[in-house]
Amino acid sequence: MKTPFHTTLAVLLVATTLFSCSESETSSTEAIKKSKEGKVEKTVSAVSFPDGNYTIDSKYSSFGWEGKEASGTSHTGDIQIHKGSMSIMDNSFHTAFVGINMGTINCTDLEGDAKSRLEQHLKSADFFGSEKHQYSTLDVIAIKTKNGETKAVGTLTIKGITKPVGFPATLSLDGDNIVVDGTLVFDRSDFDVRFRSDKWYSDLGDKLIYNDIALNYHLVARPS
């Protein structure tokens, strides 16, 4: 059986493959970049958010994943958010955290025994080892703007391995809530997910499972 994957969060994870905003739809995030002298410059966007702490509402937030094989086969699914938070300071994005429960990996394009087999394989040591590594985490520590693109930057931790990440995202206000949408793409091989990866094995042919996994996220943060 072919068992590709493409998942998580650890999100996965809230904010991290670029916080991208158009000129007409800039978010009230804070872009931070270091100058050559080592100083920190801050750029605040036109939109501002109310200061305070926010809690990610897992009921209305979601992470969807997609994984692909060289054969053209792909699988899709979702994964549940364990908990998350966000803080706003000086009307701008400050920090964010999202924890994802890897034991909730769900496949949405299969049914019956095929669905169950794939989900169990993705949770196994071949992929994300959820029994030993139940949670993945995403920590966003800054918003950076370069060449007109706004990125969320931070770290993603999967299977106890932490790597830097950056990803586009859009932030908006919905009443008192902050809504964040976007796609985070990560390389599974960076997190010791080796099954049918060309980083670890050669001559896989159409059994190759691509390393890139896309996470489409919708996060709703409510005032704490």
- How do residues 126-140 score in pLDDT, each as one tens digit? 999 999 999 999 999
Note the pLDDT of residue 53. Answer: 98
Q: Is residue 28 part of a domain?
A: no
Q: Is residue 101 part of a domain?
A: yes
DSSP states of 133-197 as a string? --EEEEEEEEEEEETTEEEEEEEEEETTEEEEEEE-EEEEEETTEEEEEEEEEEEGGGGT--TT-
- Give the domain CATH number at 73: 2.40.128.110
Q: Is residue 195 part of a domain?
A: yes
Note the pLDDT of residue 30. Answer: 38
Range of the structural domain that residue 126 is part of:
40-223
Note the pLDDT of residue 40. Answer: 38
Note the pLDDT of residue 48. Answer: 85
Residue ranges for the chain with pLDDT beneath 50: 1-46
Q: Is residue 12 part of a domain?
A: no
Backbone phi and psi for residue 194, each to the nearest 5 degrees, phi listed first: -95, -20
Q: Is residue 57 part of a domain?
A: yes
Contact, 198 vs 152, CB < 8 A? no
Q: Is residue 32 part of a domain?
A: no
Residue 171 CB partners (closer than 8 Å, separation 6+) = 19, 21, 27, 28, 29, 47, 49, 93, 178, 179, 180
Note the pLDDT of residue 10. Answer: 34
Note the pLDDT of residue 150. Answer: 75
Note the pLDDT of residue 184. Answer: 95
Domain count, the chain: 1
Q: Is residue 198 part of a domain?
A: yes
* This prediction's pTM: 0.77
Note the pLDDT of residue 171. Answer: 85
